[in-house]
Amino acid sequence: MSDEYFPTVTKIEFKGPKSKDPLSFKHYNPDEIILGKPMREWLRFSVCFWHTFVGGGGADPFGSPTYIRDWEGDLQGMDLALRRIDVAFEFFTKLGVDYYCFHDVDVSPEGANIDESFANLDAVTDYMLEKQKETGVKLLWSTQNLFSNPRYMNGGMTNPDLQVFCYAAAQIQKIMDVNHKLQGENHVFWGGREGYQSLLNTKIKLECDHMAAMYTMVVDYGKRKGYTAQFLLEPKPREPSKHQYDYDAQTTIAFLHEYGLKDHFKLNIEPNHTTLAGHEAVHDIVVASEYGMLGSIDSNTGDTLLGWDTDNFPMDLAQTTAVMAVVLEQGGLGTGGLNFDCKVRRESVDPVDLFIGHIGAMDTYALGLRKAAKMKEHGVLKSMLTERYLSWSTHPLGAKIEKSEATLEECVEYAKSQGEPKKISGKQELFEMIRNGYIYG
Ligand code: XUL
Ligand code: CO
């Protein structure tokens, strides 16, 4: 085996929109300045470890793994784990991303007991720290997997069994320590099994109380240890649970308010989770941003004909433009980023397909950024939106209502003084036409 795992791929370069080379960027030019910041800073791309280097190898409920990954050979346990780290850092470097993300169990094998699992994680993450220093690639976030091991079949933080809850606490505390060592910029909580399969055997409020209690302990431990990573909750309405408590952005924000946790958390929004919740793909990104809670994005897309979380690479320019418009409007993602929580299709078996998927998606986001920047510079859509709500700022009663200082009587008096409201067009088609002019023009 050569000492490179992707010997046919060299560093991916920006070659401009006319390039026909699939292993080149047509739109992503990392150091080009757009609206005052380099593209790489607006976009903060990250590769996820799980789908890219572990996953099920392309297995689905109807068939076995398909991917060709010769670097794995017959390796097992720690040998396989360390090999994957080498492969991953070669991939990050050749692709030219600044960040990556992982779950504890993605990068190191679980041992016979907690201590053995933690020792494995320590050893692998020590090696990851070396690779980070050698390559300059940084950790966007890490997270604890509280859903794959059978012990978590009834949930982690919301498990009816106290012993499992405490096991989850151990895993969370350990990943906090590891994340701190690797200078992770965020820490994600995704609760795939924090929900239920049947109302008959579930106490919903008690389970949510327990989950909130865990987060309160997490915040407290973080304070005591000088933990600087931003905590992020990742909403998803279902899959694998029938119902997941962090259903969508609004539900999750309400949960954080209810338990007094709002100031310690933001959200990591995944558009394919948003569509599973019955919203259009960018809905939760907009909601989270408007409430000042958009921390990071697991950028991917679903398939309109399949109802589940297919984690396709985002290749739709209208969608990436809409996402980047929100990111520009809030001045960037702060410590967050655009993490590709995506997998190549089961039929895309070649290692090089991993590059193609990421390059295609990075270019789609980069072009989306360029289009969104033009939209923002011209400001046409924004002024149309402002105009739609103008009545609220042109009459003093509007401001009074917004400050909760008005009475119902004042509203009635105003309604009577004005007579029947005029019909005012919502102009949706005009908004769409103008938006299309930027995307396809
Ligand atoms: C699952 C999902 C997770 C989280 C991290 O749908 O998105 O991979 O991003 O646990
Ligand atoms: Co995700």
189-204 confidence digits (pLDDT tens): 999 999 999 999 999 9
Overall number of domains in the chain: 2
Q: Is the pLDDT of residue 28 over 50?
A: yes
Let me know: does 236 contact 246? Beta carbons within 8 Å: yes
Phi/psi region, residue 305 (left: phi>0; alpha: psi -120 to 50; beta: rest), is: alpha
Point out the ligand nearest to the CA of residue 147. 1
User: What mean pLDDT value characterizes the chain?
Assistant: 97
DSSP class of residue 60? B
CA 340–ligand 2 middle distance (angstroms): 8
Tens digits of residue pLDDT in 197-224: 999 999 999 999 999 999 999 999 999 9
Q: Is the CB of 104 under 6 A from ligand 1?
A: no
- In this structure, the answer to whether residues 386 and 255 fall within a common structural domain is no
- In this structure, the answer to whether residues 307 and 406 fall within a common structural domain is no
For atom 10 of ligand 1, the residue with the nearest CA is 190
Query: Residue 102: helix, strand or coil by DSSP?
Result: strand
Query: Residue 216: helix, strand or coil by DSSP?
Result: helix
Mutate to test the pocket of ligand 1, among 143, 231, 284, 339 (most ligand atoms within 8 A of CB): 143
Q: Is the CB of 106 under 6 A from ligand 1?
A: no
199 lies in a domain? yes
**106: annotated active-site residue:** yes
2 lies in a domain? no
- In this structure, the answer to whether residues 200 and 325 fall within a common structural domain is yes
- pLDDT score for 12: 98
CA 217–ligand 1 middle distance (angstroms): 22
- Dihedral sign of CA atoms 364, 366, 368, 374 in order: negative
Query: Beta-carbon neighbour count of residue 228 at 10 Å?
Result: 14
Mutate to test the pocket of ligand 1, among 171, 269, 270, 297 (most ligand atoms within 8 A of CB): 270
- In this structure, the answer to whether residues 406 and 369 fall within a common structural domain is no
Which residue, 326, 361, 378, sits at the end of a domain?
378
Q: How far is CA 323 from the centre of its chain?
A: 12
- Dihedral sign of CA atoms 130, 131, 137, 140 in order: negative
Tens digits of residue pLDDT in 350-389: 999 999 999 999 999 999 999 999 999 999 999 999 999 9
Q: Which residue has the higher pLDDT, 61 or 36?
A: 36
- In this structure, the answer to whether residues 243 and 296 fall within a common structural domain is yes
Q: Which residues pair with 189 in a beta bridge?
A: 233
CA 344–ligand 2 middle distance (angstroms): 15
Start-end of H helices in 182-307: 204-225, 249-258, 271-276, 283-290
CA 380–ligand 1 middle distance (angstroms): 36
Q: Is the CB of 270 under 6 A from ligand 1?
A: yes
Let me know: does 149 contact 93? Beta carbons within 8 Å: no
Q: Is the CB of 298 under 6 A from ligand 1?
A: yes
Mutate to test the pocket of ligand 1, among 298, 300, 310, 312 (most ligand atoms within 8 A of CB): 298
Q: How far apart, in whole angstroms, are the C-alpha atoms of residue 22 and residue 430?
A: 36
7 lies in a domain? no
Q: Is the pLDDT of residue 304 over 90?
A: no
For atom 5 of ligand 1, the residue with the nearest CA is 190
Nearest-atom index, ligand 1, CA of 147:
10
Which residue, 378, 401, 431, sits at the end of a domain?
378
- In this structure, the answer to whether residues 146 and 269 fall within a common structural domain is yes
Of 244, 233, 239, 236, whose CA–CA distance to 204 is shortest?
A: 244
- In this structure, the answer to whether residues 357 and 387 fall within a common structural domain is no
Identify the band that residue 3 occupies on the pLDDT scale cut at 50, 70 and 90: confident
317 lies in a domain? yes
CA 298–ligand 2 middle distance (angstroms): 5
Let me know: does 103 contact 49? Beta carbons within 8 Å: yes
- In this structure, the answer to whether residues 303 and 430 fall within a common structural domain is no
pLDDT, average across residues 411-439: 97
For atom 3 of ligand 1, the residue with the nearest CA is 190
Q: How far apart, in whole angstroms, are the C-alpha atoms of residue 333 and residue 98?
A: 14
CA 299–ligand 2 middle distance (angstroms): 8
Q: Domain containing 431: what range?
A: 381-440
Tell me, yes or no, if the pTM score tops 0.75. Answer: yes
Q: Is the CB of 143 under 6 A from ligand 1?
A: yes
8 lies in a domain? no
Residues with Cβ within 8 Å of residue 181, at least 6 apart in sequence: 125, 129
- In this structure, the answer to whether residues 325 and 415 fall within a common structural domain is no
Q: How far apart, in whole angstroms, are the C-alpha atoms of residue 369 and residue 152?
A: 40
CA 190–ligand 1 middle distance (angstroms): 6
Helix (H) or strand (E) holding 142: strand 138-143
- In this structure, the answer to whether residues 26 and 123 fall within a common structural domain is yes
Point out the ligand nearest to the CA of residue 188. 1
- In this structure, the answer to whether residues 387 and 323 fall within a common structural domain is no
Let me know: does 140 contact 99? Beta carbons within 8 Å: yes
- pLDDT score for 280: 96
Tens digits of residue pLDDT in 87-139: 999 999 999 999 999 999 999 999 999 999 999 999 999 999 999 999 999 99
4 lies in a domain? no
Residues with Cβ within 8 Å of residue 206, at least 6 apart in sequence: none
- Of 27, 51, 104, 106, the active-site residue reads 106
CA angle 325-252-321, nearest 5°? 15
Query: Beta-carbon neighbour count of residue 111 at 10 Å?
Result: 15
- In this structure, the answer to whether residues 312 and 386 fall within a common structural domain is no
Q: Is the CB of 246 under 6 A from ligand 1?
A: no
Let me know: does 279 contact 321? Beta carbons within 8 Å: no
Q: Is the CB of 309 under 6 A from ligand 1?
A: yes
Which residue, 328, 356, 378, sits at the end of a domain?
378
CATH number for 45 = 3.20.20.150
6 lies in a domain? no
Identify the band that residue 2 occupies on the pLDDT scale cut at 50, 70 and 90: low
**27: annotated active-site residue:** no
1 lies in a domain? no
